[in-house]
Structure formats: C-alpha cells, structure tokens
Structure 1
Amino acid sequence: MNTNDLKIFEAVAETGSFTKAAAAMFTVQSNVTARIKSLEEEFGAELFSRTSRKVELTAAGKKLMQYCKQISNLIAEAKSHVQSSTKVSGSLKIGCIETTMALKVPEMINHFEEHFPDVELEFKSEMRNALINDVLNYNLDAAFVSAPINVTGLNQIRIKEEQLVIVTASEGPKIEELLTKQPVKIVVFGHGCLFRARLESWLSSKGIVHYKSTVLNSIEGIINFVEAGLGMTILPEEVVSQYYAGRKITSNALDKQLGTMITVLIFKQDKSQSTALRAFIDMYFSHNKSKITAPLDEAKSASKRGKLNLKPHF
C-alpha cells in the first residue's frame, strides 16, 4: 500500500464510480480495480458495495476514509512545515446554501485571499442536509448551514443571525389578498431548502395546506417569478435589500420564530486538521468571538494572490 493507493480509494469514494475515478486519477479502470482489490486484501475487509448503478463505501470503507483524510492532512502539514514554517497552503472545499454563495462568498474570498494566498478555495452550493452529509463523509472540509445542528462528530461556529422576509410582487395584490386566492402560489427551491420549509410552515400557521409550488434552482429565477406575480417566496432580508432593491418586489415581515435564521460553520471534530482548514476556521473564530469545542492554532499570513474555484451545484 502507498499514498497513491489511498488517493485512488478516495477518488472512487468521491465519484461513486471506478470509471470516473480512473479518469480523475489519469489511469485506466483496470488499475483502479486492482488497487482497490489490493487494499481490501490488505485490510481484510470489503471497502465498497458494488451495484449495477453505483459504488458506495461500506462501514469499513467509511472508517478507512476517515484515516485517509487524516493522512492527507498530515502529509500536507508536513510539506507546509518543511517548505516554510510561515506558509499556509493546500486546498479547501467549502459548502454553503445558495444565498450564502451569493451574499458571503465574495467577502470570504477577498478576506481569505489577502491573508492566505497559497490556499486554493473551492465552493459548492447544495441543500442543507446534503452539505451536512458531505462534511461527515469528508467530501467537504466545512460548510455554512442553518442552525440548529445536533450531529455527533461535528463542531460548529455561530456566524450570523439573519432576518427572513416574505417577498411578493409590489405591483400585485397585497399579501392578505394573495392568501385568499386558491390555490396560493409559492416560488421556492426544491425539497430540503430551509426557506421553503419556513414558507410552508407559515402557510400552515395560516390554515393553508394546499398550495401550488413553482420550483426553481436560483435566487435570480425566484426573484423574476415573484416580480412577475407568479407567487410569493421567503428569502433573507439582506439578500433582498442588498441585491434586489430596485426590483418591483415587496418585503413582508415575519414573526421572530419563523423569521430568524442563524448560520453556523460546521466541520469535523477530527484531532488532525489541515493548516488551511484551521486558518479558515480561525478567520471566523477571530471575527465572531465564538466558542468551539476544540482550541485552534493561530495560522500565519502571507502575501496577496490565490487560486479560487467556485462550483455551484444547487
């Protein structure tokens, strides 16, 4: 077994396919199959369950994945310390919901790029539950999600409290009148979206259980549909006021229980964390004065250029 075997193992786990893993590792599928077989023989356990549709980690495979990530972090840490005791480098995969991608990612990039130019950042937007699973399964280093989070194995930092508002067309009927029309029309993200869940809960509190949903996958699309009078939605007030102030839409206040959203940064409780991840966490730890369950090392800063890769997968 060598580190390349473990990289091949990680590639299969992340892609869910021997063929895709081979392409990602610039090798042939037969080599991937042989290396995985060799690992399974060495560990004396089946690492993947194979079906005609996909390849998934077994319980043993999930355990090995945890050690793979720790080994990768240790190797990156060793390289960083050997090359320069003040240099923070490597790569980070950070997850967030669509509104965080639109509102906060540019700010994150500017701040982090200034202090840690040798770290490559990759952002991915997804639904909340998918982001949590990706962090637990080491597909993401950290993620911004809505609280509360009570998941074993995760640490969290409170980032921000936001106010949500119901958004309607300013040139259409007022919200009270919209609620009397049958069916009530809403414009939302897919199932699993916090904003959709809050809007459905609000409608339920009004005694409305039947409504017509138009599902879109972008904030811009939702705003366009709402402005055109095709339904109402819920979004963070800051997103609406900062990015869509000139649009023909109206923000309607919600009560505190449904109208408050707290965003937290979640990450694994692993004892071994990369310097890059600790630097990213420390950025929020320092700015938000939040308490987390494990102490963080203070990362060093450097000069002014970085590599960034934004990947919306919402």
Structure 2
Amino acid sequence: MNTNDLRIFEAVALHSSFTRAAEAMFTVQSNVTARIRSLEEEFGTSLFERNAKKVALTPAGEVLMQYAKEITHLLDEAKREVKNIDVLTGSLKIGCIETTMALRVPTILHDFGAAYPHVELEFKSAMRPELVQDVLDYKLDAAFVSGPISISGLTQEIIHEEQLVILAHRKAASLSSELSRHAIPKIVVFDQGCVFRERLESLLSAKGIVQYRPIVVNSIEGIINFVEAGLGISILPEQIVSSYYAAREIKTFPLSKSLGTMTTVLISRSNRRSSKLMQVFIDMYKNQSKHSNVEQSI
C-alpha cells in the first residue's frame, strides 16, 4: 500500500464510481480497479459493495475512510511545514457561527492577511451541528462554537466568554410585559441548531411558556429589523448590539448568569497535533478578542 492507493480509495468513495474516480485522479479505470483490489487483498476484506447502479463503502470501508482522511491530511500538512519551514504558509479553513462571523472575522482576516500574506484563511458560517460534523470530517481545520463540547474525537480550547441579552422593541416596558402582550408570544430566531435560539427557548420554558411562535430569519440584520418592528423578541450577544445597533429602535434586557453567559471554544480533531500555523492564528484571535473587550469597557 502507498499513499496514492489511499487517495484513489477516497476518490472512489467520493464519486461512488470507479470510472469517475479514474477521471478525477487522471488515470485509467483499470488502474483504479487494480489498486482497490490490492487494498482489499492487503486488508483481507471487501471495501466496496459493487452493483450495477452504484459503488458504496462497506462497514470495513467506512472504518478505513476515517484513517485515510487522517493520513492524507497529515501528509499534506507535513509537506507544507517541511517545505516552508522558514515562512508561514499554507491554508486554514475555520468555521464559526453567524455572530462570530460578523463581530470577529473581518478584523482577523485583515490583520492576519497583512501579517502572513502567504497564508490562505477561509471562513465558513453555519450552525453548530454542521460545524462540528465538518471538523470531524476534515472539511474544516477548526471551528468556533458555543461550549462546552463533549464529543469523541474532538478537543476544545476556551477562547472567550460573552454576555447575551434579550432584545425587544424600544417601547417595551419590561420583558414580562412583552411576553404577556400576546396570548402566544413571538420570537425572532435563527433556524434549529442555533445556540441563541436554544437559550431563548430555555428562558421561555423556565417561565412556563410552552406555546410561542418562532419567526425564522437567516441574518443578524433580519433579527434586528423584525425586533425593531415589534414583531417579537430575540437574543444576541450584547457586544453585537452595542457595537453595531446601538442607534436602532430596540431595547435590551439582561439575562441570568446561567442563561446569559456563552463560552466560545475552538474545536479541532483530537488526533491532530496543533500546527504552527494554527497556533499563530489562535494567538492572534485571542489578542484581538482581548483588545476588543478592553475597548468595550472604556
């Protein structure tokens, strides 16, 4: 077995076809077939189920796929670091939730790009469940999510804490009055899987409110617009509101420490060592967060 055999194996699994895998790997189908047969002989088991319609991984193939992804990733990382030992280069794919994208990413992209022009920094915004799965599947190097996280295969590093607040329209006298304004309260939230939605629904549950009507939007700006129009209440980090929406017709209400404190952690694969590139990124991100929090307190 050699590393190219594993890349061919991954290509067959990705495309569910020996023919398309051969095209993707710039080789002929007979070579792909021979390399897969060689792997199956070496491991003493079938790696693919073959029929007229498709090619699919067997349970043994699923196990090997996890190792193949890890080996391929480690080899690519080793090549980058050895080749450019004196120059920080390569790429990082980082995931984050919507509010992190809005509050932190623009500055870190600017600062990191200026300091390390040979590094390609890519961000993806999504809900926590999708980000977690992407890290596990090696689609992301790491992701900022709400913690704590206790998932096999992942490690976490605490990055910072932030305070969440309830949002209502400017004329709201109190949170209680706002919740009692309608027989069925309305909440303005992201889709299922959003940590802010989970916190808001926990608050309603604690107050004995089991019936409410969610208005689902897909952006922070949308949440602000709907709340400002008096269409419902929502929840966001206080820093987002004070930094970007202080002049809007909205009012904030504090939360208890248990519901109002959100810890952000950086998750990555536990079977991966932290690369120099990743550590430099984490240090810069932490420094940026620290300076941002100091500015907010002045």
Shared fold, TM over 0.5: yes
What residue is the counterpart of 2:155 in the other structure? Answer: 155
**CA distance change for structure 1 residues 185 and 265 in 2, over 3 Å: closer, same or farther?**
same
The one-letter amino acid paired with 1:126 is: A
1:177 Cα offset (Å): 2.0
Query: Does the CA-based 8 Å contact 1:168-1:250 persist in structure 2?
Result: yes
What residue is the counterpart of 1:72 in the other structure? Answer: 73
1:24 Cα offset (Å): 10
What residue is the counterpart of 2:220 in the other structure? Answer: 219
What residue is the counterpart of 1:142 in the other structure? Answer: 142
Alpha-carbon distance in structure 2 between the residues aligned to 1:139 and 1:234: 30
**CA distance change for structure 1 residues 56 and 273 in 2, over 3 Å: closer, same or farther?**
farther
Higher CA-based Rg: 2
**Hey, which of these two has a bigger chunk of helix by percent?**
2
Query: Does the CA-based 8 Å contact 2:96-2:131 persist in structure 1?
Result: yes
What residue is the counterpart of 1:266 in the other structure? Answer: 267
Query: Does the CA-based 8 Å contact 1:167-1:249 persist in structure 2?
Result: yes
What residue is the counterpart of 1:204 in the other structure? Answer: 205
1:103 Cα offset (Å): 0.8
What residue is the counterpart of 1:293 in the other structure? Answer: none
Match runs of 1:257-296 below 5 Å: 257-283=258-284
SS at match of 2:158: strand
What residue is the counterpart of 2:195 in the other structure? Answer: 194
Query: Does the CA-based 8 Å contact 2:157-2:266 persist in structure 1?
Result: yes
Deviations 1:7-63 (A, max 9, x none): 4554666x67659x8699486997998588457635444556799899678464344
What residue is the counterpart of 1:303 in the other structure? Answer: none
Query: Does the CA-based 8 Å contact 1:142-1:267 persist in structure 2?
Result: yes
What residue is the counterpart of 1:249 in the other structure? Answer: 250
SS at match of 1:220: helix
What residue is the counterpart of 1:118 in the other structure? Answer: 118
In structure 2, list runs of 5 or more residues that go unmatched.
Answer: 291-298
**CA distance change for structure 1 residues 79 and 196 in 2, over 3 Å: closer, same or farther?**
closer
The one-letter amino acid paired with 1:157 is: E
What residue is the counterpart of 1:304 in the other structure? Answer: none
Mean Cα displacement is larger for which, 192-201 or 123-132? 123-132
1:133 Cα offset (Å): 2.0
Match runs of 1:84-123 below 5 Å: 84-123=84-123
1:65 Cα offset (Å): 3.0
**CA distance change for structure 1 residues 67 and 274 in 2, over 3 Å: closer, same or farther?**
farther
Deviations 1:122-153 (A, max 9, x none): 21112112212221222211010111112233
Alpha-carbon distance in structure 2 between the residues aligned to 1:54 and 1:231: 50
Number of equivalent positions: 286
Query: Does the CA-based 8 Å contact 2:129-2:193 persist in structure 1?
Result: yes
Alpha-carbon distance in structure 1 between the residues aligned to 2:28 and 2:215: 42
- TM-score norm. by structure 2 comes to 0.79
Kindly report the root-mean-square deviation, in angstroms, between the aligned alpha carbons of the 2 structures: 3.6
SS at match of 1:95: strand
1:274 Cα offset (Å): 4.5
What residue is the counterpart of 1:170 in the other structure? Answer: 170
- TM-score norm. by structure 1 comes to 0.76
